[in-house]
Structure 1
Amino acid sequence: MHTIEDGTGRAAPPGLRERKKRRTRDTLIRSALELFALKGFDGTTVDEISDAADVSQRTFFRYFANKEEVALAVQDSVESFFFARLRERPATEAPLTALRNAVLSSWDSVGEAIESVVPLELHMRTYRMIESTPQLFAAHLHRLARLEEELAEEIARREGLDVRTDPRPQVLVAAFGGVMRVTGKLWGERGNAGLEELRKITTRYLDQLGPALAENWRN
């Protein structure tokens, strides 16, 4: 998420121009997701999204490169929100603990962040659409791969390691990312399950990650 600083290191309120740009972007996202829910991803055109948002196609392309990008915009914000929470975790926390706590602390306010752009129910429908649309799912996985690289670099920084020579940050983040993808898939398969259900599933599976990596399963 983009923030502006006021010269003291604190986030400052955006100016009028930035607020207008944010409103236009949010309107495009909301219009696109509503159309996707109504007509499907493949059945919706950029022209229709632009018309619904009452802007030109040229304006659409100022904000988004294509339909995939606007479809993934809220999910991208959620992931950026999580990454910011990880950077705030105390340096004394072990890597897996920091990742787990960053996820769980995100739940306290990520719902409000989503609803500032689209209704939560629409976001959940979009998440399921991403999971079931091959074109979107491929784009989603590509973005997640980049996010995992950034997470591994952050873990390495926290631990004073070189991610290029020490494989542990990448191995840990790969395992963590796998858990997150599994829990998202399970949540999506439950149909009308809400965000609180996703939190419960995620917590349960993250709690199994350490034991699954460390323990002898045959005992």
Structure 2
Amino acid sequence: MSAPTGHDGLRARKKQRTRSALVEAGLDLFLRHGYDATTVDEIAAAVEVSPRTFFRYFAGKEDIALAKGAELDEQIVTAFLDAPTGEPPLPALRRAVLSMVRDSASTEGVPNFLRLQHLINRTPSLLAGSLRRSSETQHRIAEEIGRRHGVDAARDLRPHVLVGVVFTGLHLGLEAMCADPRRDLDRLVELVGRAVDLASAGVPDRWGDEPDSW
């Protein structure tokens, strides 16, 4: 067997850079000109690649708009998986959600972070795609909660209910912040945290043994 070279690694890094550049260019154009008014040709031109190259990475511009949301979901999953296995699921998931919000809004800037949320919520095709992706993420987290806490998430509804109410709080908190005149990071985290707490108010940190009650 021949010794591995750095060629494959270099090619993979180049592909990742091109993909990231397409996402950033697409989001910038969406936010400046609107989703419907932006074309694939314009996104490709902004990165100085051909439309043919664009379609090697994405099926269409919807995938560009939803790519960032997929990254945010992965941040939540990763942060939750990093929590100690014995920690109650509600505080662990709450902390993972707020960590994603703070880190992402710090990196993107609160206005751009919220403009992207607003764009998705106001574009039916993007909202439908975002909800599908979020549902898949919630299912993954619920399965992990079940595994960690010794319940069958296919039969016990509590992991799915817990994840559902936390994500509902996240979405409501983001909507509330979109309507808030302030664009302050601490205010964003506060609103999302408050919405998550209200949504999950009936969920205890630790559950009982009966699957039909907390």
**TM-score (norm: length of structure 1):** 0.80
Match of 1:81 among 71, 75, 84: 75
- CA contact under 8 A between 1:29 and 1:70: conserved in structure 2? yes
The amino acid of 2:138's aligned partner reads E
Matched, 1:147 2:140: no
The amino acid of 1:54's aligned partner reads E
- Residue of structure 2 in register with 1:5 after alignment: none
- CA contact under 8 A between 2:110 and 2:183: conserved in structure 1? no
> Against the structure 1 CA distance between its residues 18 and 196, is the aligned structure 2 distance closer, same or farther, given a 3 Å change threshold?
farther
Matched, 1:199 2:189: yes
Deviations 1:93-124 (CA, angstroms, capped at 9, x unpaired) = 11111111222333564456x55xxx664343
- Other structure's SS at 1:161 match: coil
- CA contact under 8 A between 1:149 and 1:170: conserved in structure 2? yes
Separation (CA, whole Å) in 2 of partners of 1:108 and 1:179: 15
The amino acid of 1:87's aligned partner reads L
Separation (CA, whole Å) in 2 of partners of 1:56 and 1:43: 19
* Identical counterparts, % of pairs: 38
**Superposed, which structure 2 residues align to 1:68-147 within 5 Å?**
68-107=62-101, 109-111=103-105, 114-115=107-108, 121-147=111-137
- CA contact under 8 A between 2:146 and 2:152: conserved in structure 1? yes
> Against the structure 1 CA distance between its residues 175 and 122, is the aligned structure 2 distance closer, same or farther, given a 3 Å change threshold?
closer
- CA contact under 8 A between 1:128 and 1:188: conserved in structure 2? yes
Separation (CA, whole Å) in 2 of partners of 1:33 and 1:192: 22
**Superposed, which structure 2 residues align to 1:164-179 within 5 Å?**
164-179=154-169
Separation (CA, whole Å) in 2 of partners of 1:35 and 1:191: 24
Instruction: Please report how far the alpha carbon of residue 55 of structure 1 lies from its aligned counterpart in structure 2 after TM superposition.
Output: 0.6
Match of 1:185 among 167, 175, 189: 175
- CA contact under 8 A between 2:168 and 2:196: conserved in structure 1? no
Separation (CA, whole Å) in 1 of partners of 2:201 and 2:18: 46
> Against the structure 1 CA distance between its residues 174 and 210, is the aligned structure 2 distance closer, same or farther, given a 3 Å change threshold?
closer
- Residue of structure 1 in register with 2:54 after alignment: 60
> Against the structure 1 CA distance between its residues 37 and 108, is the aligned structure 2 distance closer, same or farther, given a 3 Å change threshold?
closer
RMSD (Å) for aligned C-alpha atoms: 2.2
The amino acid of 1:156's aligned partner reads G
- Residue of structure 1 in register with 2:27 after alignment: 33
Aligned residues: 197
- CA contact under 8 A between 2:165 and 2:196: conserved in structure 1? no
The amino acid of 2:81's aligned partner reads R
> Against the structure 1 CA distance between its residues 189 and 107, is the aligned structure 2 distance closer, same or farther, given a 3 Å change threshold?
closer
Separation (CA, whole Å) in 2 of partners of 1:94 and 1:80: 20
The amino acid of 1:37's aligned partner reads L
Match of 2:11 among 5, 9, 17: 17
